[in-house]
């Protein structure tokens, strides 16, 4: 008969190879603690960024409220009866100028070609005459009347400008050392 072998361990705790499992568990736990710390730092940074964003949004909203209040104040000032007439007149003149397509840059270029060097343009106001022609109401100044006469001749002989009329003149004063002349001239801007 052959003997049957029965494995028998008489130790109180049988021997197991758990060291690799324990080392792997400890490494996994350390890795998880590291990931947890990293996620906590990310959450803290995102909270800080969100707080800064909320502060910036609040500052921008405050600035927007201030600008809106200033805009409302200016709108109320513009709606006052004393200012309404000026705004209406400006809107009317601007619509006329826009409709006629007058370019201020071109206007000043055309005037620069015509004006003698000794004549100054003090003021210019374009307006639409009854015959739908653009006219310029100008105030010019010079040391004497001769350069203004030359200006009037140049305006009348120009293809861009037309009929010219001298509306008024003013001699030099204590405050203004130049002769002042108010001139009206037709203007046909070439676009």
pTM of the model: 0.46
Least confident of 27-36, 60-69, 111-120: 111-120
Distance CA 124, CA 184 (A): 10
62, pLDDT greater than 90: yes
121, pLDDT greater than 90: no
For residue range 18-42, list pLDDT tens digits in order.
788 889 999 999 999 999 999 999 9
Mean pLDDT over the full length of the chain = 83
Mean pLDDT across the stretch 49-76?
93
For 176, how many CA atoms within 13 A lie in the half-sphere containing its CB? 12
pLDDT computed for residue 100 by the predictor: 59
Distance CA 181, CA 169 (A): 4
67, pLDDT greater than 80: yes
Q: Specify burial of residue 86 (Cβ count, 10 A radius: 0-12, 13-18, 19+).
A: exposed
Beta strands in 43-188 (DSSP E): 120-128, 134-142, 161-170, 179-187
64, pLDDT greater than 80: yes
pLDDT computed for residue 191 by the predictor: 43
pLDDT computed for residue 41 by the predictor: 96
Position 10 confidence tier, pLDDT thresholds 50, 70, 90: low
For residue range 126-179, list pLDDT tens digits in order.
877 766 677 888 888 888 888 888 888 888 888 888 888 888 888 888 887 888
| DSSP class of 177 | -
């Amino acid at each position: 008969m052959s003997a049957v072998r029965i494995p028998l361990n008489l130790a109180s705790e049988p021997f197991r190879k758990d060291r690799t499992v324990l080392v792997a568990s400890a490494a996994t736990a350390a890795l998880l603690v590291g990931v947890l710390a990293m996620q906590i730092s990310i959450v803290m940074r995102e909270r800080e960024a969100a707080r800064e964003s909320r502060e910036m949004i609040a500052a921008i909203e405050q600035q927007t409220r201030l600008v809106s209040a200033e805009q409302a104040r200016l709108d109320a000032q513009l709606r006052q009866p004393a200012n309404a007439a000026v705004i209406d007149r400006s809107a009317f003149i601007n619509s006329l100028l826009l409709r006629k397509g007058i370019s201020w840059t071109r206007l000043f270029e055309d005037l620069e070609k015509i004006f003698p060097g000794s004549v100054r343009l003090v003021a210019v106001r374009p307006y639409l005459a009854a015959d739908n022609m653009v006219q310029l109401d100008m105030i010019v100044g010079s040391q004497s009347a001769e350069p203004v006469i030359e200006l009037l001749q140049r305006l009348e002989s120009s293809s861009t400008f037309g009929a010219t009329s001298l509306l008024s003149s003013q001699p030099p004063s204590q405050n203004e050392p130049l002769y002042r002349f108010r001139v009206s001239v037709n203007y046909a801007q070439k676009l």
